[in-house]
Every structure is written in C-alpha cells, then in structure tokens.
Structure 1
Amino acid sequence: MAERLVTIATFNEATEAHILKGRLEAEGILCFLGDEHIIGAQPFYSAAVGGVKLRVTEQDVKEAKAILARIQGGESQFDYDTIELAPPMQEHAEVQTCPRCGSDHVAEEKYNKTVFSLTYLFLGFPLPFLSRKYTCYNCGNTWKDKSRGRSL
C-alpha cells in the first residue's frame, strides 16, 4: 500500500521550498514538492494554487515539523562530522614558470582558439583541437612546451 503524503508547509517561492527540502533530505526524511512547476512558470499563480507545498510521508510528519521548527527558530544545528568531505584536489607536481621572466603567474590554453573559432564559423559547431600553450601574465610571453622558451 502506498504511503500517503501530508503537506507540512507552503511557500510563495520554489527556492525557499527547495532549501528546506534539501535540509529535510539531509536529515534522512523523504519529501516532495507540489505545484513547484506551476509557480515556477507563472509566479503570480502562487496565491491561486496555494503556493509550493512541502510534503512528507505520514510516518515522518512529527519529525519533519520538529526540524522545520528548529530551522525557523534559528536553533538549527547540523552534525558536520557525519558528512563525507570531497577528497582534496590534487595539485600539479610542477608549477609552470615563464622561461623569459621566471614568473609563476601563467595560464595554460588547452585549445587552439583559431581552429576552434574557424570550425564553429564554417561547420556551425566547434571542434576542439588540443594545443597546449602557456601564456605569462607578467611579460606576455607565449610558449608551447615547458622545455622550450620560444616566443610566438
């Protein structure tokens, strides 16, 4: 038998409803939004349809209302120890430096901009041709390979 959904809160804007829905889902409560697409398409219909409805299953009503009351009362505390953090980003083994001035304020261009633009102009869609170039922001030097310091 299917669980019956109960509306525990209504909102004039879908954004606020999505924020609280995400918080309830983070607490392990299954919830759904009703009429969010109607109000998203026509915001002036909010009063006519009764706003965006936050709905939970019958068995989660008391817990969800308690969480919403804590959030709206400003007493909301979240256990950040249970959240799995993303692994730290891997940094490049070597920092690229400009062969002319020695600055590390350089940028890597992965695509050949000329070929990218011409294929977009003639074909209607861009074809990315890889071309590893480095440009120094301090002196304006451009080079293709870190072993060569040739200016283009």
Structure 2
Amino acid sequence: MEEIFTLLETFSIPSEAYIVQGKLEAEGIDTALRDNHIVEANPLYSTAVGGVKLYVRTEQIEKAQQVYSSISAVSLGENGEPLQCPNCSGRKVTMMTSVKDDSSKLGFVVTLLLGALPFIKYRYRCNDCGFEFKADQ
C-alpha cells in the first residue's frame, strides 16, 4: 500500500513546524503535523516522541523540499549575523537549552524549590556534525 503522506522534517519546537507548515500551505502543498499537541502540552516530551513531525503529500514531496530549502534555517547571533559551527563551519545551527553540568543542575533544582524561574543557559547544536557549543565560543 502506498503512503499518502511522507515525512519532510522534524522539529523540536512546535512554532518552527507551524511556520514551515504555513509557508508550504501558502504554496499549495497539503501538510499534516504529528505529535505537535504532545510537545505543546509538555515541551520536555519533544525528545521522547522524536519531535514535531511535518508530513506532506507524497506526490508533492519534491516541491515541498524545494520550498523548505528556500527557508532560512540558521540561528542568528546577538549581532544579527548567522551563527557558524566552530567544529565544521556549518551554518545549519539550531538553539537548544542545556542543563548538563552539575552546577547547572543544582542551580536549576534550587531555583525551582524556591519558587523562582531558573536561569537556563542557551547552547547551539550544529545539524551537520552534531557539535554543541555556546554562542560566545
């Protein structure tokens, strides 16, 4: 049995998927989202479910890939310039949050227990090589 829809891309943030979906639909491409409501309800589930999945009609996949490739998929630094991966010089960089080291974890837990909003360090991940880095590196 032939699939009616084909996966175009996955996103960790629903709003990114909605932007791309809107652009594709404006170009006359039929789309469908999957797992967007789960991730909206609890963003921490994004990794568990594999992110928000954007599907397009199989017969429209080539046109959808062309439209999607025309959308800028780069993160911008504080000065408005596109960020570049320090490892491979790639420009496909996406922002993510990080609570990796022990001091960050401790600070996160303490601020939550005190009823305050924790400070989260933002990191970036290169989609080409998978390298994670801070913007000030």
TM superposition score normalised by structure 2:
0.50
Aligned equivalent of 1:9: 9
Alignment CA distance shift 1:15-1:45 (3 Å) = same
Establish whether residue 72 from structure 1 lines up as the match of residue 72 from structure 2. Answer: yes
Aligned equivalent of 1:37: 37
Q: Equivalents in 1 of 2:36, 2:56: separation in Å?
A: 15
CA displacement at 1:12 relative to structure 2 = 0.6
Q: Equivalents in 2 of 1:73, 1:66: separation in Å?
A: 13
Larger relative contact order (Cα-Cα within 8 Å, sequence gap ≥ 6): 2
Structure 2 alignment gaps of length 5 or more: 75-137
Q: Equivalents in 1 of 2:70, 2:22: separation in Å?
A: 15
CA displacement at 1:5 relative to structure 2 = 1.0
The one-letter code of the counterpart of 1:57 is R
Q: CA RMSD in A?
A: 2.0
Aligned equivalent of 1:138: none
Q: Equivalents in 2 of 1:16, 1:6: separation in Å?
A: 18
The one-letter code of the counterpart of 1:51 is G
| Secondary structure, aligned partner of 1:72 | coil
Give runs of aligned pairs for residues 1-152 of structure 1, distance below 5 A: 4-72=4-72
Aligned residues: 74
CA displacement at 1:72 relative to structure 2 = 2.6
Aligned equivalent of 2:117: none
The one-letter code of the counterpart of 1:62 is E
TM superposition score normalised by structure 1:
0.45
| Runs of 4+ with >6 A deviation | none
| Secondary structure, aligned partner of 1:9 | strand
Q: Equivalents in 1 of 2:24, 2:38: separation in Å?
A: 23
Q: Equivalents in 2 of 1:42, 1:2: separation in Å?
A: 33
Q: Equivalents in 1 of 2:35, 2:73: separation in Å?
A: 26
Structure 1 alignment gaps of length 5 or more: 75-152
Q: Equivalents in 2 of 1:34, 1:8: separation in Å?
A: 12
Q: Equivalents in 1 of 2:37, 2:46: separation in Å?
A: 11
- Bigger radius of gyration among the two: 1
